[in-house]
Amino acid sequence: MEKTIRLMRISLGIIFLWYGMLKFFPNISPAEGLATQTIDILLFGLIKHSVSIKLLALWEVVIGFGFIFGWYTRFIVALFIVHMACTFTPLFLLPELTFTHAPYAFTIVGQYIVKNLIFVLAGILIYQQEVACKRAQVV
């Protein structure tokens, strides 16, 4: 089981590293528009789109490297959970982009968001494994 969780952590890290790297280059990430629009709403337009997307890219890259190399797992999982919570906000803030018929028929954007449920589960399992390993070291 431990090897499976490690592979899950590395896989999730690769996804976050990849998605994050794309956001460093304008108009490459398919999530760029949705991300900047959501950040704009959440932060009341206080940060320019060009800055917010770079900060998001950096956040995702940090999560990616943290998961890939197993650095500061508890901290990385905390960053990850906050990120995941924010990814669900367009379902509430931008329903016209996420639903064809709310609350049951998603657009492709809505489906892109809801698939993050499996990421959340993976993050929880990674955290539980980290806690179990720490307890085993203490005993």
CA dist 50 and 26 (Å) reads 8
Bond prior to 30 in cis (omega within 30° of 0): no
On average, the pLDDT of the chain sits at 95
pLDDT, average across residues 109-136: 93
pLDDT band at 15 (very low <50, low <70, confident <90, very high): very high
Instruction: Report DSSP letters for 80-108, one per residue.
Output: HHHHHHHHTTHHHH-HHHHEEETTTEE-H
SS3 for 115? coil
Q: Give the pLDDT of residue 137.
A: 82
**What would the two tokens of residue 128 be?**
């539980």
Give the end-to-end CA distance of the chain in Å, rounded to a whole number: 20
What single-letter amino acid sits at 27?
A: N
Write down the pTM of the prediction: 0.93
Q: Alpha carbon of 29 to those of 6, 14, 19, 91: distances in Å?
A: 27, 15, 7, 19
pLDDT band at 139 (very low <50, low <70, confident <90, very high): low
